Amino acid sequence: MSSSGAKLSRSPSGAQLKTTASSQSVTVVGIDPGLRITGYGVIRACEGKIQLLEAGIVRAVASRPLEQRIQEIYDGVAEVVRDHQPDFVALEQLFSHYERPKTAILMGHARGAICLAAAQVNAPVHAIEPTRVKKIMTGNGHAPKHQMQQAVRLQLGLKEAPEPADVADALAIAICVYHQRCNPLASS
């Protein structure tokens, strides 16, 4: 637990990726922002293979004032990006629903804290819409959580689907943005 009270639940994959001077790897931190639970996933791609390095959640204390929860999110995400020094950070694009504009405004605070953490390690931030992630991963832009979890499990060759769903979403975001940014066959 960090000094701010945020709980950072980390789950290292335990696997080590060895690279040679001739192979180039790309490390991506994917983030599914939330004011209570922010999911994150760290992947490394090398020679066309994507490997899970770490995944987990940053849990902010829901009963605390907004500014303290934002600090907790920042502290947790900053720790992850400092540890992994990613080539870039992949973040779910902010969207708003006309019936709940306040939610979009509040999520903007969380995204700002995440962008600041990325900027402090000079990692560019690339955003992607949640419906695009679902469409890329499953073929259905409105796929349910369990379908996304299974798609991530298959993409990363995991024995079990990532839990909670926030972690699976963060990993899916990382995978999709990696392919958009680094795959020469991906269309813009």
Catalytic member of 32, 54, 72, 75: 32
Query: Is-catalytic flag, 166?
Result: yes
Query: Is-catalytic flag, 32?
Result: yes
- Give 96 or 57, the one with higher predicted confidence: 57
Q: How does pLDDT run across 37-50, given as a tens digit for each residue?
A: 999 999 999 988 99
Residue 143 has pLDDT above 90, yes or no: yes
Catalytic member of 79, 92, 163, 169: 92
Q: How does pLDDT run across 107-129, given as a tens digit for each residue?
A: 899 999 999 999 999 999 999 99
Share of the chain above pLDDT 90, in %: 74
Q: CA 104 to CA 100: how far, in whole Å?
A: 7
Query: Is-catalytic flag, 54?
Result: no
Question: In the predicted model, what is the mean pLDDT of the chain?
Answer: 87
Q: CA 28 to CA 152: how far, in whole Å?
A: 15
pLDDT for residue 5: 52
Catalytic member of 54, 72, 87, 166: 166
Residue 130 has pLDDT above 70, yes or no: yes
